[in-house]
Every structure is written in structure tokens, then in C-alpha cells.
Chain A
């Protein structure tokens, strides 16, 4: 990626976001590890793991915002890519257990011994190596998205029809992964992990490192998304979102554009899932539940579709609320509250938190910097770069 793409993509808001995530990514683990236990400055380990989970959700939300907010592809099956990335990581973690399992089999994970597998299924080979698992984290969701997208976009399946088939996709995977003979632990999924790259997954140090890595992944995903949406490709994506057929008549191969962002977005979701699994300690078929994918779309809507930062923020805010409410007496009503939240946001804040803030902030900022703007604008024109799009 050439430098001009980076400089263009990192405006003040984007830089602020990156600095905040980086700051939290360093400070939270440090405070957890260095401050004395029980001190008011020490972040307890359970909170590190919990926040780590939110960061993974934020990456998932970013991946959804890239395709939905900028290209108009409403995927209601992104949880599937997240779960596939999670399973790839889970398979690596299972194989690390080795002979420390209940049945002490050095090759077969416990559930396979229990289910009388004679030998390791072919698709479990290679997962004892971290690099291979890491590759699969990207490749499996990416490949599925590529094949799915190739069929769907070429046949011009759009709008609600596309959303429905993405739901069907995640539901089909849910059913498949529930089966014991599918080879991924059925109902129970993969769990009882021992270590990752030789470090105990339960140890404070490992949790802190995973948190830091998740924040780093969030930053990388964010920079990639920003680079895309601020490039000319980003303008084409918005054109496709707003007037798909018009874009075709200008000579753009719309299906290639959709396929590119959809596949990239699925890989991002896969990475989010892979970082999620060691932090929560389990992956099971419920991650494929259609409701999960819908919830993730709600995070993006709440935070602000087509703003990237909003998607990440929405994921954290909604999940924080979820943790808060589901651990209290209101727990049975959480789904109703989520539904109500979605309706309220759609009615009152159609642009989401960040979108509404931008709409309120932009005119004020422009007025304050009109003098400056004229200079910047002429500079931008010399570069051949258009003025930033307020809609972004």
C-alpha cells in the first residue's frame, strides 16, 4: 500500500480513534499486570477478558460497516464468518491440548475419542501448526465469502433477497456444526483449551497480550477500511450503494467491487472470531445463530452506519449494555430492550450516534475554519484529490 493512501485516509478523527484504541490497548494490560491486586488502578483480569471480547465485536462491526455502510450490502450472516475464524483458531487450540485431555490421546481431541473416531479427520490436519491455523482463519471465511458472493453478485441478487440468503447460509452452518458427525465437537463445540503458542490461555499475561493484540487488530482493520473508503474505490462503493445500475452504465463492473469488499470483510470477521475464541475459552455452534448476525448489524446501526468509528463504538456500547442488563434482574428482557433500542435509533437517530454527532458538528466546524478551508481546497485540487465527502 503506497504512502499517499495512508496520508489521505488518516484525518484528525481517524487518528484520534487510533490513538484512543492504542492507548487502551496498552494501558489496560499494563494496569492489570503492574498494579497491585485490588488497587483501584488495577483492571481485574475478568474485565480485561470482557473488554477483549468487545474489541473483537468492534472488528466484526467494522467489517459489516464496510459492506453495509459503504456498499449497501446488508449481510445478515456475518456471524458465520466470525464463527468460522473462531473454529479455525479453536481447532489449533484443541490440538495444543495434546495428551493433557481427559482421555490422554496425544492426537485426537477428547470429543473424538468419546465419539469413537478411529483417526483424525483429514480437515483437522495441519491445525497443530499455528501458522497454518492463522492462514485458515483468513482463508476459510474468505473462500466461503468469495464463492457465495460470486454466485450472488453475478446473478444480481440484492437488497432483502441477499439478506435472506445470508441468513440461510449462517443457519445452514449452524445445523451442520451441531451434528456430531460433522467433526467439530457438535453441540459442545471446542473448549477446555490449555495453551496458545506455549502460553497458558488462562494466565493473566496471556490475557493481557490477547487484549493488546485485539486492539492492534482493530487498528489495522480500521486503517484498511479507512484506506478503502477514502480511495477512489470508496467513491465507487458509495456510487454502487446509492445507484447501482447507474454505476454499471458508467462502465464499472459492480459485481467485482462487491466481491472484493465482501471477501475482505469476511476475512476481517474471521480474524475477529479467531481473537475472540481464546479470550472467551469456547466456540460452539450457537455462534452461527442467525440472531447473532442480526445483533451485529444493530450495533452498526446504533453507532452510525457508514462512519466506521460509529460501528466500533456501537459494538462496544451495545455490548456493554448487554453485559450490564443480562447480569441483573432485567436479564429476561434483554432481547426486548435490544429490539426497542433498534426501533428507537431507527426512528430518532437514523444516522446512529456518530452520524448524528457529525451532522451536528460539521456545519459548526466548517464555519470555524472557513478561512482555512479555502487553502486546503486549492491544495487538494492540485493533488487531484477531491474535497472530503461530508457524507463519509
Chain B
């Protein structure tokens, strides 16, 4: 692993001067952003701003052309693959909910648990009381206890979103990257999700991408607005939403 001698930054997640282009199209341009340990950050920005691509970079799915991406101030994420990054403690919820549709809700959580993920470990795995208690707790948190034996594919869109958040909880990573968690949810569900994220934030660092401004406002955290792959504005929700450029490219449309 590529560990630096001294901590380069106090940030949990640190991006500096990151560039990515796809066939000449610059999706990420000189992007710099830092997430302090324990912070929750909301990311907003128009479609195609590069929010998902930024998460792809952090989780190792996309390699940046240039720039620094540090985890915990010491680990260079650009040199690691997805599995290794997940093992380090970065979990992700996808924009399009991705659960294992042909498996039950509780098996989805079981697969997400941060236990031995080696071939040997899973072949000779036998459940422990501790594991099933953790699964029960997550099921309760995401309100899917009654659906535990249902196939994940049969859940509603909102429930899938919650199951994926539950998988993040089971994974118990240090940093959670949450891409559009409330898309397709009712107002009540949206409110509950905000509450849930605030609860999780008590002991996890979170980055959440969302278009729903009511939801972002409810989170009440620092907001970063991306546009054309770079940071357009950063600050409290009121500061950002009164920023002229933000209104012009995003909110005012």
C-alpha cells in the first residue's frame, strides 16, 4: 500500500487538482475538496456536473488523469482498486440503487457485513450470534424487518434505496459516499432518510449527493456546489443558494 510518511492533511478525504477526461471531454476539472473527519457534506450541482464521477474516483472505479486523492491523510487512493478501497473503509451507495435482486434482504445485508471476505472465510463461514444481531439491528433501522426474507428485487424503489443504506450500515465504513439517496422517495421517506443520515453522521464521515433542496436544507450541513467538474461555491446552504453563479447554473433554471 502506498502510505506516506507524514500525514499530509487532517482531512479524512482530500482531493486536490483532480482532472479526468473521457475521450477529450473534461468531466472533472481541477477539482479540490476536503472532508474533515466526522463531517457530513452535501454536494449539489446540475446534471453532468461530475458528482458521480467524483465518487467513482474516490472509490477506485475511475482513475484520475492528474491530481491527488488522499484518504485519512496518508493513503493515495489513485493507486488502489475498488476492493482494496472498500476494505480500507470507504462505502458507497449508488445513484441507481444496486442491490442483489435475486437474494433476500437479509442476505444482502449479510454480504455487506464487514467480516472476513476471503474465499476461504466465506466457504467455511458459519453465522454467529453477533452477526445476526447486527443484521437485526440494521433491519430495524431501515424498517425492513418484516421484509427480511423477501427478495431484494421485489422491493419498491424507496425500499431498495433504504436497503442500500442498510448495506452501508452493515459494512460500517469510515466514510460513506451516498449518491442521491432520496430519489423516488415520498416526502415522509425523505424526511426519515435525513434523520437516518444525521444519526449515522454521529460516528461516520459522510458525503451525500442530492438534488432535492428541501432534503439538503434539512441536513443542515456544509454544501458544495459542483459545476462542469469543479467547485463553484462552498458554504452553508444559505450562502450557496444565494450565490449568483449557483442560481444561474443550477437553482435558477
Residues of A in contact with B (beta carbons under 8 Å apart):
2, 4-5, 228, 231-233, 235-236, 238-239, 242-243, 245-254, 256-257, 260, 377, 381-387, 389-391
Contacts and interface: CB of A to CB of B under 8 A. Distances in A.
Contact of B102 (A233, A246, A391): A391
Chain A contact residues: helix, strand, loop or mixed: helix
Given A233-B122, A251-B83, A384-B129, 8 more contacts: A5-B123, A238-B102, A243-B100, A246-B100, A250-B86, A256-B119, A381-B132, A389-B107
Given A248-B82, A249-B92, A252-B117, A238 B103 contact: yes
A143 B82 CA distance: 28
B119 A384 contact: no
B124 interface: yes
Given A253-B83, A391-B151, A239 B111 contact: yes
A242 B102 contact: yes
B101 interface: yes
A383 B123 contact: no
A325 to B, nearest CB: 36
Given A233-B122, A238-B103, A256-B119, A245 B61 contact: yes
B111 A250 contact: yes
A242 B101 contact: yes
Interface string B106-129: 110011101001110011111111
Nearest to A241: B102
Size category of the B interface is 35 or more
Nearest to A1: B124
B239 interface: no
A254 B100 contact: no
B100 A242 contact: yes
Nearest to A258: B119
Contacts of B83: 248, 251-254
A251 B104 contact: no
B111 A5 contact: no
Given A236-B122, A383-B127, A384-B126, A253 B106 contact: no
Nearest to B89: A251
B194 interface: no
A347 to B, nearest CB: 21
B110 A232 contact: yes
Contact of A245 (B82, B100, B103, B112): B82
12 contacts: A246-B98, A248-B86, A249-B82, A250-B167, A253-B118, A381-B132, A384-B128, A384-B132, A385-B126, A386-B104, A386-B110, A390-B151
A264 to B, nearest CB: 11
Interface of B: 59, 61, 81-83, 86-87, 91-92, 94, 98-104, 106-107, 110-112, 114, 117-119, 122-129, 131-132, 149, 151, 167, 171
A80 to B, nearest CB: 24
Contacts of B106: 386-387
A25 B176 CA distance: 55
A192 B59 CA distance: 60
B100 A233 contact: no
Contact of B171 (A2, A236, A242, A250): A250
Nearest to A253: B83
Nearest to B110: A386
Contact of B103 (A253, A384, A391): A391
B59 to A, nearest CB: 6
A4 B124 CA distance: 9
Contacts of A242: 100-103
A256 B84 CA distance: 13
Contacts of B100: 238-239, 242-243, 246
Nearest to A231: B123
A384 B59 CA distance: 31
Contacts of A254: 83
B127 A384 contact: yes
A235 B111 contact: yes
A370 to B, nearest CB: 12
Contact of A232 (B101, B125, B149): B125
A232 B122 contact: yes
Nearest to B136: A381
A14 B130 CA distance: 30
A119 B151 CA distance: 63
A386 to B, nearest CB: 5
Contacts of B151: 390-391
Contact of B98 (A4, A243, A386): A243
A381 B104 CA distance: 13
A386 B114 contact: no
B122 to A, nearest CB: 4
Pick the 5 closest A-B CB pairs, nearest first: A384-B127, A251-B86, A232-B125, A233-B122, A248-B82
